[in-house]
């Protein structure tokens, strides 16, 4: 790794909050230490965790080298993982320590594993045999060599823990300590899977073959919702497990996990390991260790599961690969889809990107022959794609403060009559997006952010969706102090529920919105109840677009199909297309055909027309042509540079200086745009100013950006963050 080997030194990448880009030298302990070893080292007055990155460079005088304090009792980080982190740090222009932190997010890493007492059959016999004692011994014999905790064993034998302890004293059973991390139950890849024909059969075989190659490759698995993509990629998982390698399935939304876990259990006979923010600390720690030991065969998780220490990762599935939540927008800015591909390239794994509406990036990679592509054209079995139609809002009589048109209301009434479910989709949380004073025209905004406060009527509060700040809905206008003039303007899902209740008295109405359910568990329970038929009309945000199965749902009404088309975001068309197709896909999952109705003021808009026509290829081609013309991703490269800080003028000054002195960028032919207020110009009291850099696809953008940014000094308390491939541009 390193050019000059220093006899006693080891380079250690240290986990600090300081942006120290590269590893430091330390004195290795007696007998040396392995590359990748987790160590504790002194840093200034503190002790910090680090990873041995290579041999020391000998830059520091041996006498002044500080010593590694101790080597932790965990398996060293694999070379392939270190390479991945280094490359990911380079790609995202993130200091290595910050990248490393993603890979060490296991609570209590390095503590000795905690132990617990378990009991198994011994050779002794108790002097006096009672019924209860016999039952304990029989229970242990029945389960062969297995051991149980006190509680488990007592329960199994239908007796008290006192009886078990008494037996242990006689040596009839043996008490011993084992690590608390219980092993995961084994998944059985040889259990029979679904029976495939046609495109499914071919797709499954192509994926199996790809996994068998045990080299890096990527497949775009494309197919409408319900076409059996999951069923097909589970075959790739089976093949991977058969070969004894580990598999990872990434899901965009925790709320989807439990449905998926149940499916895995049905397919492989046991539940896989889980990794996301909803998992307890103890469980995460177990997962981290078991993944490292190769004991966890399959991990189902959120994007951060990419950074677990797999022993032999052979397959990564990125489900709903187009989903914007794969982009981490805090701290290290990375897109899990891209990182999955990078990770796989270092460990010889295959990647499957699954989606009904792939990102333009993946579509273009498939077009260019970099990815294999499998298309599942039809829905599985009897269910057919929903019929799609627009409702031209220009022709609908709409009284004030109503958003369900007479045409849509008629369709809903017909479903109620037939005992079928309707989904009304509106991508706006809360009651109303704007709260306005009719006396002075003031719109209530957040004090910390450049955002309006959104009324949440169930909580009786105004909430800022940027920073979470909330306050009671004011009686008097905070601006002109006139009372009783505050008015809700525009619809959110809560307000739509009110209108629906008004229009359809007696219908059971359920609102699904991420802020209303407290926990992922509560949300999941509601989703299950709805699937069981416990609601007639479901009113939901983006949350409902993602993969839930409602068999009795036959109508989807999109309240405002134009919502996503506003604004100047170049990805707006792609997003709207994806979202509308996904939402429509909720209708008619089972034997009943579905209908999707889009309320729009511009039915002739090209995006709306391609959504209706269901002409995906045509849409992607047109969109690709525009992006190529504009030289933006995926045909060019972009980076967003966000300067944030308390003093807006200072940020603009710096931004202007950066735009002027951009030689390193000019040298690679890149263009700089801005400075301009960032899409969200103020968050939590900090102003945000953005520059955009655009370069040709082949240009060495990262290194030029690094050189460029290094020339400038930041004003006090300011921060500069670079977002490679920003979501909006």
Tokens matching residue 301: 């998780």
Kindly give the interhelix angle for 493-503 and 406-418, rounded to the nearest 10 degrees.
70
Minimum Å gap between C-beta 228 and ligand ADP is: 3
Tokens matching residue 539: 């009113």
Under the binding rule (CB under 5 A), the answer on residue 537 touching Zn ion is: no
Q: Which does 229 bind (CB under 5 to 8 A by kind): Zn ion, ligand ADP, none?
A: ligand ADP
Query: In terms of C-beta density within 10 A (0-12 exposed, 13-18 middle, 19 or more buried), how is residue 488 classed?
Result: buried
Q: Which does 187 bind (CB under 5 to 8 A by kind): ligand ADP, Zn ion, none?
A: none
Under the binding rule (CB under 6 A), the answer on residue 200 touching ligand ADP is: yes
Q: Which is nearer to ligand ADP, 339 or 352 (CB)?
A: 352
Q: Which does 196 bind (CB under 5 to 8 A by kind): Zn ion, ligand ADP, none?
A: ligand ADP
Q: Which is nearer to ligand ADP, 200 or 542 (CB)?
A: 200
Under the binding rule (CB under 5 A), the answer on residue 449 touching Zn ion is: yes
Q: Which does 409 bind (CB under 5 to 8 A by kind): ligand ADP, Zn ion, none?
A: none
Question: Binding site for Zn(2+): residue ranges?
Answer: 437, 440, 446, 449, 464, 467, 477, 480
- Near ligand ADP by CB under 6 A: residue from 35, 147, 159, 230: 230
Under the binding rule (CB under 6 A), the answer on residue 223 touching ligand ADP is: yes
Tokens matching residue 411: 């369709």
Under the binding rule (CB under 6 A), the answer on residue 229 touching ligand ADP is: yes
Among all chains, which residue has been given the structure tokens 């990873």? 51
Under the binding rule (CB under 6 A), the answer on residue 189 touching ligand ADP is: no
Under the binding rule (CB under 6 A), the answer on residue 195 touching ligand ADP is: yes
Under the binding rule (CB under 5 A), the answer on residue 467 touching Zn ion is: yes
Q: Which does 227 bind (CB under 5 to 8 A by kind): ligand ADP, Zn ion, none?
A: ligand ADP
Minimum Å gap between C-beta 595 and ligand ADP is: 19
Please give the DSSP secondary-structure letter assigned to residue 110: T
With a CB cutoff of 8 Å and minimum separation 6, the contacts of 303 are 250, 326, 328, 334, 336, 339
Count of residues touching ligand ADP (by CB under 6 A): 13
Q: Which is nearer to ligand ADP, 143 or 196 (CB)?
A: 196
Minimum Å gap between C-beta 258 and ligand ADP is: 15
Long-range contacts of 400-406 (CB under 8 A, 24+ apart): 401/499, 402/499, 403/491, 403/496, 403/499, 403/559, 403/560, 403/599, 404/496, 404/499, 404/500, 404/503, 404/557, 404/559, 405/599
DSSP 35-83: TT-EEEEEETTEEEEEEEEEE----S-GGGPPBP-EE-SSPPPPHHHHH
With a CB cutoff of 8 Å and minimum separation 6, the contacts of 55 are 1, 2, 4, 5, 6, 9, 10, 11
Minimum Å gap between C-beta 92 and ligand ADP is: 30
**Residue 76 and residue 72: Cα distance in Å, rounded?**
9
Q: Which is nearer to Zn ion, 320 or 455 (CB)?
A: 455
Query: In terms of C-beta density within 10 A (0-12 exposed, 13-18 middle, 19 or more buried), how is residue 248 classed?
Result: buried
Q: Which does 202 bind (CB under 5 to 8 A by kind): Zn ion, ligand ADP, none?
A: none
Q: Which is nearer to ligand ADP, 231 or 420 (CB)?
A: 231
Q: Which is nearer to ligand ADP, 196 or 712 (CB)?
A: 196
Under the binding rule (CB under 6 A), the answer on residue 194 touching ligand ADP is: yes
- Near Zn ion by CB under 5 A: residue from 2, 324, 328, 448: 448
Under the binding rule (CB under 6 A), the answer on residue 128 touching ligand ADP is: no
- Near ligand ADP by CB under 6 A: residue from 91, 143, 196, 712: 196
**Residue 132 and residue 135: Cα distance in Å, rounded?**
5
In 500-527, which positions are buried (b, 16+ CB within 10 angstroms) versus exposed (e)? beebbeebebbbbbebbbeebeebbebb
Q: Which is nearer to Zn ion, 312 or 469 (CB)?
A: 469
Neighbours of 354 (CB within 10 A): 24
432 neighbors 495 (Cβ within 8 angstroms): yes
**Residue 404 and residue 422: Cα distance in Å, rounded?**
13
Tokens matching residue 17: 């909050």
Among residues 340, 182, 334, the alpha carbon closest in space to that of 247 is found at 340
**Residue 133 and residue 129: Cα distance in Å, rounded?**
6
Under the binding rule (CB under 6 A), the answer on residue 199 touching ligand ADP is: no
Query: In terms of C-beta density within 10 A (0-12 exposed, 13-18 middle, 19 or more buried), how is residue 408 classed?
Result: buried
Q: Which does 448 bind (CB under 5 to 8 A by kind): Zn ion, ligand ADP, none?
A: Zn ion
The CA-based diameter of the chain, rounded to the nearest angstrom, is 92
Q: Which is nearer to ligand ADP, 84 or 577 (CB)?
A: 577
Peptide bond into 662 cis (omega under 30): no
**Residue 277 and residue 1: Cα distance in Å, rounded?**
35
Minimum Å gap between C-beta 465 and Zn ion is: 8
Question: Binding site: residue ranges?
Answer: 437, 440, 446, 449, 464, 467, 477, 480
- Near Zn ion by CB under 5 A: residue from 466, 602, 702, 721: 466
Q: Which does 467 bind (CB under 5 to 8 A by kind): ligand ADP, Zn ion, none?
A: Zn ion
Minimum Å gap between C-beta 485 and ligand ADP is: 49
Annotate each residue in 372-391 with x if it binds ligand ADP (CB under 6 A) or - if it does not, as one string.
--------x-----------
Annotate each residue in 606-645 with x if it binds Zn ion (CB under 5 A) or - if it does not, as one string.
----------------------------------------
Binding site for Zn ion (CB under 5 A): 446, 448-449, 464, 466-467, 469
Binding site for ligand ADP (CB under 6 A): 194-196, 200, 223, 225-231, 380
């Amino acid at each position: 790794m390193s050019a000059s080997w220093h006899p006693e030194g080891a380079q250690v990448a240290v986990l600090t909050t300081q942006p120290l880009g590269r590893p430091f030298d330390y004195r290795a302990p007696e007998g040396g230490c392995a590359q990748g070893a987790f160590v504790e080292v002194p840093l200034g007055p503190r002790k910090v965790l680090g990873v041995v990155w290579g041999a020391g460079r000998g830059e520091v005088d041996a006498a002044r080298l500080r010593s590694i304090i101790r080597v932790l009792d965990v398996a060293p980080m694999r070379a392939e993982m270190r390479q991945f982190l280094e490359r990911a740090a380079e790609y995202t222009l993130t200091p290595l320590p910050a990248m490393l932190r993603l890979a060490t997010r296991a609570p209590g890493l390095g503590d000795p594993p905690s132990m617990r007492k378990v009991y198994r059959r011994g050779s002794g016999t108790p002097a006096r045999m009672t019924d209860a004692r016999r039952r304990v011994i029989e229970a242990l014999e029945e389960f062969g060599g297995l051991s149980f905790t006190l509680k488990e064993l007592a329960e199994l034998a239908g007796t008290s823990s006192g009886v078990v302890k008494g037996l242990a004293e006689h040596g009839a059973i043996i008490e011993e300590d084992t690590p608390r991390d219980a092993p995961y139950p084994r998944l059985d890849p040889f259990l029979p899977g679904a029976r495939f024909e046609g495109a499914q059969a071919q797709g499954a075989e192509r994926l199996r073959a790809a996994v068998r190659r045990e080299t890096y490759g990527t497949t775009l698995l494309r197919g409408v919702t319900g076409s059996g993509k999951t069923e097909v990629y589970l075959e790739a998982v089976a093949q991977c497990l058969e070969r004894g390698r580990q598999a990872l399935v990434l899901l965009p939304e925790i709320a989807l996990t439990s449905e998926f876990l149940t499916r895995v259990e049905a397919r492989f006979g046991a539940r896989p390991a889980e990794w996301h923010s909803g998992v307890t600390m103890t469980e995460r720690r177990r997962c981290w260790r078991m993944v490292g030991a190769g004991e966890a065969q399959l991990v189902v998780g959120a994007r951060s599961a990419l950074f677990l220490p797999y022993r032999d990762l052979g397959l990564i599935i990125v489900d709903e690969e187009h989903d914007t939540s794969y982009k981490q927008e805090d701290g290290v800015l990375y897109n899990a889809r891209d990182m999955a591909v990078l990770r796989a390239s270092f460990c010889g794994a295959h990647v499957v990107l699954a989606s009904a509406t792939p990102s333009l990036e993946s579509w273009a990679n498939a077009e260019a022959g970099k990815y294999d592509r499998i298309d599942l054209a039809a829905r599985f079995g009897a269910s057919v794609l929903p019929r799609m139609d627009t409702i031209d809002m220009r022709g609908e009589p709409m009284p004030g403060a109503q958003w369900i048109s007479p045409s849509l209301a008629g369709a809903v009434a017909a479903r109620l009559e037939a005992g079928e479910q309707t989904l009304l989709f509106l991508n706006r949380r809360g009651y109303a997006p704007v709260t306005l004073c009719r006396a002075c025209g003031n719109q209530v905004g957040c004090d910390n952010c450049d955002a309006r406060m959104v009324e949440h009527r169930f909580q009786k509060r105004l909430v800022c969706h940027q920073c979470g700040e909330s306050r009671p809905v004011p009686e008097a206008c905070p601006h002109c102090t006139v009372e009783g003039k505050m008015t809700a303007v525009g619809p959110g899902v809560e307000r739509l529920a009110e209108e629906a209740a008004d229009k359809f008295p007696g219908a059971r109405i359920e609102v699904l919105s991420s802020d209303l359910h407290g926990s992922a568990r509560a949300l999941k329970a509601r989703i299950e109840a709805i699937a069981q038929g416990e609601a007639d009309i479901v009113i939901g945000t983006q949350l409902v677009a993602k993969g839930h199965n409602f068999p009795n749902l036959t109508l989807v009404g999109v309240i405002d199909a134009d919502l996503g088309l506003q604004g100047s975001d170049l990805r707006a068309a792609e997003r709207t297309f994806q979202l509308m197709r996904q939402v429509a896909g909720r209708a008619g999952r089972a034997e009943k055909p579905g209908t999707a109705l889009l309320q729009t003021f511009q039915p002739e808009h090209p995006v709306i027309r391609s959504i209706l026509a269901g002409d995906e290829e045509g849409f992607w081609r047109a969109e690709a042509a525009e992006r190529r013309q504009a030289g933006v991703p995926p045909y060019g490269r972009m980076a967003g540079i966000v300067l944030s800080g308390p003093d807006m003028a200072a940020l603009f000054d710096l931004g202007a200086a950066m735009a002027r002195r951009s030689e390193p960028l000019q040298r690679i032919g890149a263009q700089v745009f801005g400075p301009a207020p960032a899409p969200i110009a103020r968050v939590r009291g900090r102003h945000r100013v953005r520059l955009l850099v655009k370069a040709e696809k082949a240009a060495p953008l990262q290194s030029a950006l690094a050189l460029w940014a290094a020339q400038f000094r930041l004003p006090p308390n300011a921060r500069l963050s670079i977002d490679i491939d920003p979501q909006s541009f």
